[in-house]
Structure 1
């Protein structure tokens, strides 16, 4: 069984509009994400009292109307949650943090189990930071990043191999010939073709360079880059690609 890397179950706080690239509004997609969390018995946190207090819980069931979660063992905590005008649910899905605000929590039962019912949210935050998960690309058919170093001369292109990719950025193989990637340099309109997903266009900034020694003793130079203010489409394509690769990896992993 594939186990997810532990993600801190803390509320993500954004300034106005900063979270727009990470919000999911599709009811079907929201329901699918919550069902996946439920099916994997992924732990979750339920915050109340304006986010100052929380209890750990787990999803019991998901429907088109909402979700059922385990009530806390403390009756006092349960009372405070049920009296809250809103609560914040935080969990994880495919190495990404999941968070949403629920209003009007209510006491309920599911089957023979006591539960707290939360209405299905109209929007859900799915945030995948670079330090949560980096996906190594295949050695046989690795992803390529096409960089156009001269803004006014788009016919000048350099194709570089991507070693790993995430929603936050990429790691590139520095070649002996071609463009020299220097920390601080910014390259707009870079293109990355994601198989079965689409081609994204983004601005990257080189953050650092480092050397990696292979088993044969060969020293390769790499460059760590971040995506600069990726738009909603870019973020969506990256999330879909990473999620697709994770599903494929999970399918190939022997069950325990």
Structure 2
């Protein structure tokens, strides 16, 4: 049975919200992380104040600490080792898991470079409908048309949509494309939703960082929100997400 992929994005909470998802029992933390190890679940490692990220794996977890596979780029590893705050995001039984390390050390685990860190004293395990985001397929991925210069609609960039929800989109920018910067607002962006219709909305870039995949390829990802979407935009998004959820459910049964 195929499971839905959960975007490995950092979630921010108030203290009251955080308490609702907090896991602080060491045995439960070990159990969760060991399941992540056994299933070889992808792990996003954020460093450089959350502005840079690499995809990795947790290799081992126990009461004495955690081992995490090193990045393929030695420069990334140096920056990670020097970071004072590293955020890990992964999944456990279709829930997002997030925890922080303040000190990691590059060493060797089973004859390969890996980071060692203490077992986290707490982690967040999130599972609620508000966090659902639809991950778009690599083949025939959605495209977002952005017109960066107001009044000059002939100047446009086509950017790949990594995931989409009723609240916003994550966009992947190639090195030669538009460089989306946090705080920028782009009006009249368009996304063609297959079998649903064309969505037009303003987007605001909330964060942007580089992603290094397991093959060493570097891309820039931008997390964006829809700015005051109207009723038509919200309806199109709801219909598209529901349509794709139904399709994924049918594929899972096949």
**Which TM-score applies when normalising by structure 2?**
0.50
Post-superposition offset of 1:131: 5.8
Q: Which runs of 5+ in 1 are unaligned?
A: 134-256
Confirm whether residue 66 of structure 1 aligns to residue 85 of structure 2.
Answer: no
Post-superposition offset of 1:52: 1.0
The residue that corresponds to 2:97 in the other structure is 98
Residue deviations 1:104-135 (CA, integer Å, cap 9, x gap):
110111121210112111001000022668xx
Rounded Cα–Cα distance in structure 1 between residues aligned with 2:58 and 2:3: 16
Equivalent residues of 1:5, 1:132 under 8 A apart: no
Post-superposition offset of 1:19: 0.8
Question: What is the correspondence of 1:84-233 to structure 2 with a 5 Å cutoff?
Answer: 84-130=83-129
The residue that corresponds to 2:29 in the other structure is 30
Root-mean-square deviation over aligned CA pairs: 1.7
The residue that corresponds to 1:14 in the other structure is 13
Equivalent residues of 1:103, 1:119 under 8 A apart: no
Size of the aligned set, in residue pairs, is: 133
Instruction: Report the 3-state secondary structure (helix = DSSP H, G, I; strand = E; otherwise coil) of the residue aligned with 2:87.
Output: strand
Rounded Cα–Cα distance in structure 1 between residues aligned with 2:30 and 2:3: 20
Instruction: Report the 3-state secondary structure (helix = DSSP H, G, I; strand = E; otherwise coil) of the residue aligned with 1:85.
Output: coil
Post-superposition offset of 1:3: 4.1
Instruction: Report the 3-state secondary structure (helix = DSSP H, G, I; strand = E; otherwise coil) of the residue aligned with 2:31.
Output: helix
The residue that corresponds to 1:54 in the other structure is 53
Rounded Cα–Cα distance in structure 2 between residues aligned with 1:4 and 1:52: 28
Rounded Cα–Cα distance in structure 1 between residues aligned with 2:62 and 2:5: 26
- Relative to 1, partners in 2 of residues 1:103 and 1:113: Cα closer, same or farther, differing over 3 Å? same
Instruction: Report the 3-state secondary structure (helix = DSSP H, G, I; strand = E; otherwise coil) of the residue aligned with 1:31.
Output: helix
The residue that corresponds to 1:178 in the other structure is none
Equivalent residues of 1:44, 1:89 under 8 A apart: yes
User: Which structure would you say has the larger Rg?
Assistant: 1
Rounded Cα–Cα distance in structure 1 between residues aligned with 2:82 and 2:90: 22
The residue that corresponds to 1:81 in the other structure is 80
Q: Which runs of 5+ in 2 are unaligned?
A: 133-254
Residue deviations 1:61-84 (CA, integer Å, cap 9, x gap):
112122111111111110000000
Instruction: Report the 3-state secondary structure (helix = DSSP H, G, I; strand = E; otherwise coil) of the residue aligned with 1:42.
Output: coil
Instruction: Report the 3-state secondary structure (helix = DSSP H, G, I; strand = E; otherwise coil) of the residue aligned with 1:80.
Output: helix
Post-superposition offset of 1:95: 0.5
Post-superposition offset of 1:17: 2.5
Post-superposition offset of 1:40: 0.2
Equivalent residues of 1:108, 1:117 under 8 A apart: yes
Rounded Cα–Cα distance in structure 2 between residues aligned with 1:36 and 1:24: 15
Post-superposition offset of 1:48: 0.4
- Following superposition, which runs of at least 4 residues in structure 1 exceed 6 angstroms of deviation? none
